[in-house]
Amino acid sequence: MEIKEVVREKYGQAALRVHSGGSSCCGAASAMDGCCDPITSNLYDSAQTGAVPEEAVLASLGCGNPTALAELKEGETVLDLGSGGGIDVLLSAKRVGPTGKAYGLDMTDEMLALARENQRKAGVGNVEFLKGEIEHIPLPDNSVDVIISNCVINLSADKDRVLGEAFRVLKPGGRFAVSDVVTRGEVPEEVRQNMLMWVGCIAGALRDEQYVAKLATAGFEGIDIEPTRVYNIEEARTFLSGQGVDVDAIAPQVEGKFMSAFIRATKPAGMPK
């Protein structure tokens, strides 16, 4: 509960900063290095940023671009877990067209208000922002074709529950297509904590093999994890030095081990409804 409250407060403030014309950035990296931190910057191409309101772009706090990597078809129903200012929902709504539907789910009132305002500015009708928690998705069983999410599952203290809920609401054959922070290989616990603080993961990122195991336990098949950005110790140097960390000493334990990745999996098509 405590983690959830910290997350809610942090993202509530981020949403308000967009409203007041400031930067929405709230990761440790952006606080130290200015807004253009290596995690959230330059995720979308100009065709995508030009297609949504500026405030949706300013509020973007993801670590990947699931809408670019997910296969979305006309008429499909998409659900974005932790939709924030709504950028991925609005982009998905365009991809599934007027016969499809894009839902955003977020627990933070300020983010929902921002997302709904962005929907109004974008003038899209096939979008609905729902208030709720990704651990308790307020949609029926077997009702969604594609689940997307952008840097949110790492924030949850109950990832098994999130993946179980994603499986429940997906239709048989439905796709899980998510960007998230993952770690790879052995990392000493203290180094791990420092790096994840830099990335802004409050509850903690999963190791890639843990992610695969948890998705399999939830019932998914065809699981694949594709790194999209591997973080470099130099990108975290200013932040970590400020925390009193001896960056040169830990560098060999960090290289190639912290990354954003695109995670895909499928709910078996033969599942009974």
Q: Which residues bind ligand SAM (CB under 6 A)?
A: 4, 7, 11, 60-62, 82-85, 87-88, 106-108, 111, 133-135, 150-152, 155-156
Looking at the Cβ atoms of 205 and 250, the one nearer to ligand SAM is 205
The structure tokens listed for 234 are 């130099």
Widest CA span in the chain: 55
Q: Which residue's CB is nearer to ligand SAM, number 221 or number 226? A: 226
- Based on CB atoms, which residue is closest to ligand SAM, 10 or 247? 10
Dihedral sign, Cα of residue 55, residue 57, residue 58, residue 64? positive
Q: Which is nearer to ligand SAM, 38 or 250 (CB)?
A: 38
- E strands in the chain: 77-81, 101-106, 127-131, 144-150, 170-183, 206-207, 221-230, 258-266
If you search the block for the tokens 């296969």, which residue do you land on? 71
Question: In terms of Cα–Cα distance, which of 212, 224, 229, 228 is closest to 264?
Answer: 224
Q: Shortest distance, CB of residue 52 to ligand SAM, whole angstroms?
A: 11
Query: Rounded CA gap, 273 and 168, in Å?
Result: 10
Q: Which residue, 86 or 100, is less far from ligand SAM as judged by CB?
A: 86
Closest distance between ligand SAM and the C-beta of residue 188, in Å? 26
Min CB(247)–ligand SAM separation in Å: 25
Nearer to ligand SAM, 159 or 250 (CB): 159
Residue nearest to ligand SAM (CB): 84
Q: What is the nearest approach in angstroms of ligand SAM to the Cβ of residue 244?
A: 26
Least Å from the CB of residue 53 to ligand SAM: 13
Structural contact between residues 176 and 166, judged by C-beta atoms closer than 8 angstroms: yes
Whichever of 81 and 250 has its CB closer to ligand SAM, that residue is: 81
Provide the minimum distance between the beta carbon of 206 and ligand SAM in the complex, in angstroms, as a whole number: 15
The CA–CA distances, whole Å, from 80 to 144, 177, 204, 263 equal 10, 10, 20, 14
Task: Give me the least distance between CB of 246 and ligand SAM, in Å please.
Answer: 29
- Report the alpha-carbon distance of residue 38 to residue 23 in Å, rounded: 15
Phi, psi of 113 (to 5 degrees): -65, -45
Q: Which is nearer to ligand SAM, 83 or 92 (CB)?
A: 83
Q: How far is the CB of 14 from ligand SAM (least distance, A)?
A: 7
| C-beta of residue 247 within 8 angstroms of C-beta of residue 192 | no
| Helices 189-199 and 247-254, axial angle in degrees (round to 10) | 90
